[in-house]
Structure 1
């Protein structure tokens, strides 16, 4: 088996995609009850509201993460939700949190991290739920935002260029697959970097984007393609990557600032330039097509990663079976 085939298998069988497969299971129950005009499977629910959209999202965190990285888990409660709002072309309004712990001392680092990120990203915490009488710490955070025009996983079209924009000015929070380009960075810079996304939506330079999640850049692109009923090919060597970082590890990591976008070729150069002006690495890494098959390329070699025609990932595509 070739190196590219081994890499594709590792991505397919990785924990990041396994977590995303869980979505398909709950979709079977939620789809019949979802609002007719609200697509399910995007980074946020986009609820039409007069001439704009209310954006609503929620994140829950694994018990081990909350127990061992309490401050950073609280910080991520805001950071990750904020990224989801901007990935949809919106701007955040406020967050609420639900926290459980065995006493106040166990809750404190979670709340400290939450408060720090709220200040950094300029998003107030306006309420939530508290239980200090639980047997372990647990955390969930929800966010509300608003968009004038949407960036959506359902808006990609065949023949567009796939871009990856990632802030490489960070470091791994060893030994984890978390690329941290947020903590310690200037708050104003972080907020202005995120403003690129709603600007792209409002200027019409882009209509389809997604926040790179713990599924990594490849898994996140697969979700975007599934929602739009597309396939595509990705040149893994074109993906922006810090010097000295192993490719296989990088493809599986969750970056604190990372987005994939599907852009008309005529607009690609302008979109890349907007990120580059902010010091964000952005590159064209592939192209969409109507095959329903995602392939990875390296040099002259090509390897099928996933055939969405025969196997769904999150079950949110246009051809899903409810």
Structure 2
């Protein structure tokens, strides 16, 4: 059996020292990091973008099927996604955790391994944070900082009538991965002798447990001089997030069901679970793809990127938000996206 080091043997400051001892900065903008009362950052004339997110055990993740290393990686990535959604480049994060004594130092090392893997992949520096005791499970709070050329950030409230609606990647996979994991969890709880059967569903499980932020899309915009008129990342589900843009920009929209990008593995999984792939794409959250609008004049530039799908266009606010089905019917888009407070 592996050795287990109790957190209390290190104390709070000892734990922070242990978890952060090997940090090496990757950004010139990171002047001072962990070890003082505050971090010091200098973005050299660029504007600073800040986003923060909290992940709570039992609400945002389930440790029965979420490996700690994956959880550390995902905790960082979901915050970096918000920075990219502002058309900015992430440079630093702070990470605060609250843990109960059921976690060993080795377990936290595993979590931080995932954190550092994400930092390394995306070129961001961990510059601060805090640890605390929790009486109610694992709580993670990440704040991400990024930089953007003055005036180049993209908001949600600036889409225009006639703009094309675009998404990166494909949709619904993470929700289907969650559906599979929850199903296997129930089977396991009822009969612990039965080993989970993930049925070769590596794609949808990966979409849930190890999402990636779309740095490549932001780089593509810069290389091709594309400036989205509005943008956000898809965390609550396409329908819910698109309605945010419509409401804040005071426009309506038309989305074509046949244009929704759905991976073949996700489509097959949906059918197997008795779910509608379109519903999964519209309402499933946690895809962390970018949803953005561009002027029609930029359409020719988009064709260069197979990772971008044009799914519809913006209309007058009076026309409402509609989806046109493959069968030619028209339905109102509703915010069926995941609601954190639906069970309260």
Place the TM-score, normalised by the shorter chain, in its bin: 0.5 to 0.7
For the 8 Å contact 1:66–1:138, the answer to whether it is kept is: no
Matches of 2:283 and 2:181, distance apart in 1: 10
Aligned 8 A contact 2:100 2:138 in 1: yes
In the alignment, which residue of structure 2 is the partner of 1:305?
333
Give the number of equivalent residue pairs. Answer: 249
The aligned residue for residue 261 of structure 2 is: 240
- Alignment pair present for 1:295 and 2:322: yes
SS at match of 1:158: coil
Deviations 1:80-139 (A, max 9, x none): 111111111100110001101113525344323222211221211111111146442111
Structure 1 contact 102–134 (Cα < 8 Å) conserved: yes
Question: Which residue of structure 2 lines up, in the alignment, with residue 319 of structure 1?
Answer: none
1:210 and 1:259 in contact (8 A); partners too: yes
Q: Does the CA contact (< 8 Å) of 1:209 and 1:262 recur in 2?
A: yes
TM-fit CA distance, 1:63:
1.8
2:250 match: 229
C-alpha deviations, 1:46-71, integer Å up to 9, x for none?
xxx99642100011113214451233
SS at match of 2:313: strand
Could you say which residue in structure 2 is the equivalent of 1:206?
A: 228
Query: Is residue 196 from structure 1 mapped to residue 194 from structure 2 by the alignment?
Result: no
Summarize the alignment of residues 82-101 of structure 1 with structure 2, pairs less than 5 Å apart. 82-101=80-99
- Displacement of 1:206: 2.2
**Does structure 1 conserve the Cα–Cα contact (< 8 Å) formed by 2:166 and 2:309?**
yes
1:220 aligns with 2:244: no
Q: Do residues 126 (structure 1) and 120 (structure 2) align?
A: no
Decide whether the 8 Å contact of 2:49 with 2:147 is kept in 1: yes
1:194, distance to aligned residue in structure 2 (A): 4.6
Partner of 2:311: 285
- CA separation of 1:133/1:211 partners in 2, compared to 1, >3 Å: closer, same or farther? closer
- Using the alignment, how far apart are the partners of 1:97 and 1:266 within structure 2? 41
Moved over 6 A (4+): 182-185
Distance change (3 Å), C-alpha of 1:51 and 1:288:
farther
Q: Which runs of 5+ in 1 are unaligned?
A: 1-48, 308-312, 314-322
Match of 2:289 in 1: 258
Instruction: Indicate how the Cα distance of structure 1 residues 135 and 250 shifts in structure 2: closer, same or farther if over 3 A, else same.
Output: same
Q: Is the 8 A contact 1:99 1:140 kept in 2?
A: yes
Paired residues for 1:1-322 under 5 Å: 52-64=46-58, 65-68=60-63, 69=66, 70-103=68-101, 105=104, 106-132=107-133, 134-148=135-149, 149-166=152-169, 173-174=177-178, 175=180, 180=206, 191-199=215-223, 203-213=225-235, 215-244=236-265, 245=267, 246=270, 247=277, 248-254=279-285, 256-273=287-304, 275-276=305-306, 280=307, 282-291=308-317, 293-299=320-326, 300-306=328-334
* Partners of 1:183 and 1:122 in 2: CA distance: 21
TM-score, scaled to structure 2: 0.63
- Alignment CA distance shift 1:152-1:74 (3 Å): same
CA distance in 2, matches of 1:305, 1:191: 29
Deviates most, 289-298 or 219-228: 289-298
Q: Indicate the structure with greater strand content.
A: 1
CA RMSD of aligned residues (A): 3.2
CA, structure 1 residues 227+78, in 2 after alignment: closer, same or farther (shift >3 Å)? same
Rg larger in 1 or in 2?
2
User: Residues 199 and 223 of structure 1: is their aligned pair in 2 closer, same or farther, counting only changes over 3 Å?
Assistant: farther
Q: Which runs of 5+ in 2 are unaligned?
A: 1-42, 183-203, 271-276, 340-344
Q: Return the alpha-carbon distance in structure 1 between the equivalents of residues 130 and 223 of structure 2.
A: 34
**Matches of 2:309 and 2:61 in 1, distance apart?**
34
